[in-house]
Amino acid sequence: MSGAHISRRQLWSLVALTLMWGTNWPMMKYSLRELSPLYFRALTMSFGALWLFAFYRMKGVRMWPQGREWRSVATLGLPNVLGWHTMAILGVKELASGRAAILGFTMPIWTVLLGVLLFKEQLTRRVSFAAAAVALAIGLLTFNELTALSGRPLGILWMEGAALSWAIGTLMMRRAHLTIPMETLTVWMLILASVCLWVFAAALEPWPTWQFSTPMWGSLAYGALINYGFAQIIWFGLARHLPPSTSAMSIMAVPLVGTISATALIGERPTWQDFAAMLCVMGAIAAVLLPPRKRATTAIT
């Protein structure tokens, strides 16, 4: 298959993936009504990782790292999984879920800016525009949180810390010389991060009662089986073949889906600042991820 083409099956898979990722944000917020954030993250990540391990082992993927590959699991898992997922769930606890999604997906812009700062990558007009757009988005949401009676500006710090952690992990991943299958790397990063989260939760949060409502059990199942399970499987199936522009469009759509689904699922009401910030972030992602226009167009076969 040409890198410039995407099949209908891939297109529908990408739509499903975007909906899964976007809807996960209000689902997390719903779960935090009955379970503390670190225990929620530890529980869903653990079961999701075990589910993935079993699935890929049945598919014949080499599932046990060897020798120095364990070092890659630990060093790459720290920012990409433990840092991102821990700070993101703490941010969701403090903020509206749609707002948290908008801030979390500033990651691509931080990745590019850190590349410019740390690795002397080129500072283009597009990157400058993206930086200004993200600064405006963060400013809009920060001002809203500071002026609201129930504002939670700490949540913005958590989410931007999460986005920065993910960005650092992305840069590390790009420069890593890996011999381990990506599926195996991801599963073991999730397993080790979940162990750390169980320890953090036991030290910092009260032990849950484990007596949840039926919708709560459904939300937990969504986090484990859909967010950490099916979404990961779909992504691995697509990532090797998708054109970069198609991946970018999916990433751009996640904050939009998160904001809209939060209204339907948990009754959040976005403000004009949320929509303005979302447009800024989507524009910034487009600036840094979408390639320059070419005469040839992407075909759907």
DSSP string for residues in 125-161: HHHHHHHHHHHHHHHHHHHHHHHSTT--HHHHHHHHH
Q: Any long-range contacts for 148-153 (C-beta under 8 Å, 24+ apart)?
A: 152/94, 152/95
Model's pTM, two decimal places? 0.89
Q: Which amino acid is at 226?
A: I
Q: What is the Cα–Cα distance from 81 to 44, expressed in whole angstroms? A: 13
Q: Which tokens in the block code for residue 168?
A: 């650092």
Q: Taking the mean position of all CA atoms in its chain, how far away is CA 166?
A: 8
Q: Number of folded domains in the chain?
A: 1
| Per-residue pLDDT tens digits of the chain, which is 301 residues long | 434 466 788 888 888 989 999 999 999 999 999 999 999 999 999 999 999 999 999 999 999 999 999 999 999 999 999 999 999 999 999 999 999 999 998 988 898 899 888 888 888 898 899 899 999 999 999 988 888 767 788 999 999 999 999 999 989 988 989 899 999 999 999 999 999 999 999 999 999 999 999 999 999 999 999 999 998 888 877 766 666 556 666 778 899 999 999 999 999 999 999 999 999 999 998 888 777 766 544 444 3
Q: Decide: residue 169, CB within 10 A, 0-12 exposed, 13-18 middle, 19+ buried.
A: buried
189 exposed, middle or buried (CB, 10 Å; 0-12, 13-18, 19+)? Answer: buried
The domain of 156 spans 5-300
